[in-house]
Amino acid sequence: MTGFVSFVSSGPGDPELLTLKAVARLQAADVVLFDDLSSGPILAHAREGADLVGVGKRAGRLSPKQDHVSRLLVDYAQTGARVVRLKSGDSGMFGRLEEEITALRDAGISYEVIPGVSSAMAAAAAAGIPLTRRLTARRVQFVTGHDVTGSLPGDLNLAALADPSATTVIFMGKRTFPELAGLLIGAGLSPQTPALLAESVSTPAQKITRGTVGTMADLIASEAEDGPALILIGPLAE
């Protein structure tokens, strides 16, 4: 008997931002494999007696390997269990969702993907700004600030990222932002372009720091906390 896997997006951290479908899947699950950022009060929705298994990966910390996480999903589902893979933000956004889906497909296991509130949208809401504006911010682009080695990706489209009429959201970019900022300025982006650092969005530790592309690297070095963070740059990030 083969079980079923629900990839449940937990949103940015506030349990009130969970969707009704996400809560329903948590309440019905036999097993919940959760990320670090999806723990705490969100897990209170899991039913009593469910197995709760932490599989979160955090930069600079010892973390489960991705193939191990994928193997756990398959192993639990093959027992006939209803499995929830609880991912922070929206599971399709820089969450290695595809690798886990591939493992399930290869094993013949059925699954569903339940979307959630992306931390990018939550960060903009926390800062009280929109992500788009007619005429001056017509495009939104999401990019990761590091590759599998932890370094700034070497194949970034700098011309697109330096577009002054776009809102750019950089995920996991605190450590590499000084290098990225230098590249963007070299590609023509004004150092006076507004920039915003959003940390631990929608949690009690939330912190919003405003600056510019030219000043944000120093602000990160002097003020940044250790929590998860996004950097927004563009005409609306002020």
Q: How far is CA 224 from the centre of its chain?
A: 18
- The CATH number, out of the four listed (3.40.50.12780, 3.40.50.620, 3.40.1190.20, 3.40.1010.10), of the domain defined by the range 4-114: 3.40.1010.10
Q: Mean of the pLDDT values across residues 100-117? A: 97
What is the pTM (predicted TM-score) of this model?
Answer: 0.90
**Strand order across the 82-87 sheet:** 51-54, 31-34, 82-87, 4-9, 110-114
CA 191 to chain centre: 26
Among 14, 21, 51, 57, which one carries the catalytic annotation? 57
Among residues 14, 21, 30, 35, which one is catalytic? 35
Q: Where are the domains of the chain?
A: 4-114, 119-233
Confidence of residue 151 (pLDDT cuts 50, 70, 90): very high
102, with CB counted inside 10 A (0-12, 13-18, 19+), is: exposed
pLDDT classification of 15: cutoffs 50, 70, 90 = very high
Q: How far apart are CA 229 and CA 227, in angstroms?
A: 6
Three-state DSSP class for residue 62 = coil
Q: Which fold has domain 119-233?
A: 3.30.950
Q: Which residue has the higher pLDDT, 134 or 233?
A: 233
Is 35 a residue of the active site? yes
Active site residue 87: no
**Predicted confidence (pLDDT) per residue in 28-87, tens digit:** 999 999 998 888 899 999 999 999 999 976 555 556 788 999 999 999 999 999 999 999
- Mode of pairing for the β-strands spanning 166-171 and 229-233: antiparallel
